Amino acid sequence: MAEFLSFRDGDAAQEPAVTVEAFTGQSNATAVRIEPGDDARELLPHLGRIALVEVNFPVFGDGRGYSAARILRESGYDGELRAVGDVLVDQIVAMRRCGFDSFRPDKPLDDAAVERALNRYADVYQRTIDGRSPVWAKRRPETQNG
């Protein structure tokens, strides 16, 4: 059972994450935690100094964190993006697609189940920031990188 999952090279960030308000008000923090009601775009002026963004999912059904993650990645954030809280195996694929690259779920995940979920679907219909080619690009190989 995995209590922490990472898809990044190298060590996970260790610094405790602070709230968005605390983070934007101090200049030396490098880890920040986004709650569902926070506006991820408040972090955009500070991306250069962030090593870790934690996005909290108090309940799995609150999907605001997916938008927060994608906004950060679309804006060029390339540090660690960690989903924490009520993170279930059935959400891992969508979270990976939105740019999450590490996970610290409240309840440990079964490694085999995670592996199965990640390999279940060979293809996707949408372009996101995860670099996968959507089927509309694969149907026309010349546009794959377009």
Partner 1 sequence: MGDLTMYRYDSYDQAIVDARVEEFRDQTQRRLAGQLTEDQFKPLRLMNGLYLQLHAYMLRVAIPYGTLSAAQMRVLGGIARKYDKGYGHFTTRQNLQYNWIKLSDAPDILAELAKVEMHAIQTSGNCIRNISSDQYAGVDAAEVADPRPWAELLRQWSTFHPEFTYLPRKFKIAVIAADEDRSAMRLHDIGLKLVSRDGVIGAEVYAGGGMGRTPMVAPLIRDFVTEDEIVAYLEACLRVYNRYGRRDNKYKARIKILVHEIGVEEYRRQVEEEFAHMRQQGLNPPVEELARIRAFFAPPAYETGLSDKIDRADPAFALWVDRNVAAHKAAGYAIVNISLKPQGGIPGDASAEQMELVADLADRYSLGEIRVTHAQNLVLPHVRKADLPAVWQALEEAGLAEANLDLITDIIACPGLDYCALANARAIPVAQKIAARFADPQRQRDLGELKLKISGCINACGHHHAGHIGILGVDRKGVENYQLLLGGSGAQDASLGQITGPGFSEDGVVEAIEKVTDIYLEQRQDGERFLDTYRRIGMKPFKEAIYG
Interface ranges with partner 1 (CB under 8 A): 36, 39, 60-64, 66-68, 70, 74, 90-91, 93-95, 97-98, 116, 120-129, 134-136, 138-140, 143, 146
Q: Min. distance of Cβ 104 from partner 1 in angstroms? A: 19
> At closest approach, how far in Å is the CB of 98 from partner 1?
5
* Minimum CB distance to partner 1 smaller for 51 or for 129: 129
CA 111 vs. chain centroid, Å, equals 18
Contacting residues for 99 by C-beta, under 8 A, at least 6 apart: 69, 70, 72, 73, 81, 128, 129, 130
Closer of 1 and 14 to partner 1 (Cβ):
1
CB 140 to partner 1: min, Å:
5
Number of residues written out for the chain: 146
* Beta carbon nearer to partner 1, 25 or 76: 76
In the chain, DSSP finds a helix count (H) and a strand count (E) of 5, 6
**Closer by beta carbon to partner 1, 29 or else 97:** 97
Least distance from partner 1 to the Cβ atom of residue 144, Å:
11
| Residue 119: partners with Cβ closer than 8 Å, 6 or more residues away | none
Which of 51, 137 has the CB closer to partner 1? 137
Side-chain half-sphere of 134: how many Cα atoms within 13 Å?
8
3 state DSSP class of 82: strand
| Shortest distance in whole angstroms from residue 77 CB to partner 1 | 14
Helix (H) or strand (E) holding 81: strand 80-85
